[in-house]
């Protein structure tokens, strides 16, 4: 299994992260002399909630440019390295890794209910279940029925509540790419906004002519649109960087 954290692991990781601990990492991040104070602050704040815009605001960037600054900082090699180092450090401390998440998904997806019973069909006590089987149990209900008239003993019913297998199977299918297939449709190079417009036209013609399924056209259209937005963001970031440099030369802080 891969050692790199995927997006789902990162979301789970952020949900279980301690904001105070994340901010305590600032000093260690600033040891990297290639980072400015603001860049180190952004990397630290990004570890708190994985929100680039909010991290930029908390790091001291202006509200108006926080979104574009956040995207630009995430593309900065040194900042990205600092963030990855912080993620890896906390993953080691907390044990939240891609391998562990996949292992837990596999436990739920391939759970065998027969392991809840012994060879005589009698339920095995919870404390004696193996780890893989116990991981699939979401809860344990105990119900007491009416007492026996003669003995006075009450009947007790114990019931396991199991985790659904479907979400874990779906997650593993997505991770392994079992439901995906390549879309074979030629597109022009999309290096500018004008290229994106031409590519969208090709996609529309491909769908109209039967070369693309509607779902394939929709997927390609989203990819091209994302590329267009990325190009516009990069252009805006370059302009903002140039403006900040001009302001800094005149003695104004960005």
Q: What is the 3-state secondary structure (H, E, C) of the chain?
A: CCCCCCHHHHHHHHHCCCHHHHHHCHHHHCCCCCCCHHHHHHHHHHHHHCCHHHHHHHCCCCCCCHHHHHHHHHHCHHHHHHHHHHHHHHHHHHCCCHHHHHHHHHHHHCCCHHHHECCCCCECCHHHCCHHHHHCEEEEEEEEEEECCCCCCEEEEEEEEECCCHHHHHHHHHHHCCCCCCCCCCCCCCCCHHHHHHHHHHHHHHHHCCCCCHHHHHHHHHHHHHHHHHHHHHHHHHHHHHHHHHHHHCCCCC
Least confident of 4-8, 13-17, 169-173, 212-216: 4-8
Residue 25 has pLDDT above 80, yes or no: no
Beta pairing class for 154-162 and 137-147: antiparallel
- Interval 183-237: pLDDT, tens: 889 988 888 889 999 999 999 999 998 998 898 899 999 999 999 998 888 888 8
Q: What local confidence, expressed as pLDDT, does residue 158 receive?
A: 76
Percent of the chain predicted with pLDDT > 70: 82
Q: What local confidence, expressed as pLDDT, does residue 1 receive?
A: 38
d(CA 216, CA 231): 23
Residue 8 has pLDDT above 70, yes or no: no
Q: What local confidence, expressed as pLDDT, does residue 16 receive?
A: 47
Q: What local confidence, expressed as pLDDT, does residue 94 receive?
A: 77
pTM to 2 decimals?
A: 0.45
For the segment 121-149, the average pLDDT, to the nearest whole number, is 83
- Interval 136-190: pLDDT, tens: 888 878 777 766 667 767 777 778 888 898 888 888 887 777 777 788 899 888 8
Residue 82 has pLDDT above 60, yes or no: yes
């Amino acid at each position: 299994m891969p050692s790199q954290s995927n997006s789902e692991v990162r979301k789970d990781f952020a949900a279980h992260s301690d904001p105070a601990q994340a901010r305590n990492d600032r000093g260690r991040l600033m040891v990297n002399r290639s980072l400015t104070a603001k860049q180190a602050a952004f990397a630290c704040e990004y570890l708190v909630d994985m929100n680039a815009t909010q991290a930029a605001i908390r790091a001291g960037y202006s509200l108006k440019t926080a979104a574009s600054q956040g995207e630009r900082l995430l593309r900065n090699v040194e900042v990205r390295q600092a963030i990855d180092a912080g993620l890896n450090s906390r993953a080691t401390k907390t044990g939240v890794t891609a391998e562990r998440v996949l292992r837990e998904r596999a436990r739920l997806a391939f759970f065998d209910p027969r392991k809840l019973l012994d060879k005589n069909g009698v339920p095995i006590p919870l404390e004696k279940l193996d780890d893989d089987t116990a991981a699939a149990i979401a809860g344990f209900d105990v119900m007491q029925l009416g007492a026996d008239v003669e003995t006075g003993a009450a009947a007790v019913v114990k019931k396991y509540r199991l985790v659904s297998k479907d979400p874990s199977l779906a997650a593993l299918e997505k991770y392994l790419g079992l439901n995906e297939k390549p879309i074979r449709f030629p597109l022009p190079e999309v290096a500018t906004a004008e290229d994106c417009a031409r590519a969208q036209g090709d996609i529309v013609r491909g769908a109209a002519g039967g070369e693309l399924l509607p779902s394939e056209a929709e997927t390609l259209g989203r990819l091209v649109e994302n590329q267009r937005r990325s190009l516009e963001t990069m252009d805006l970031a370059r302009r903002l960087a140039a403006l900040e440099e001009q302001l800094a030369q005149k003695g104004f802080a960005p």
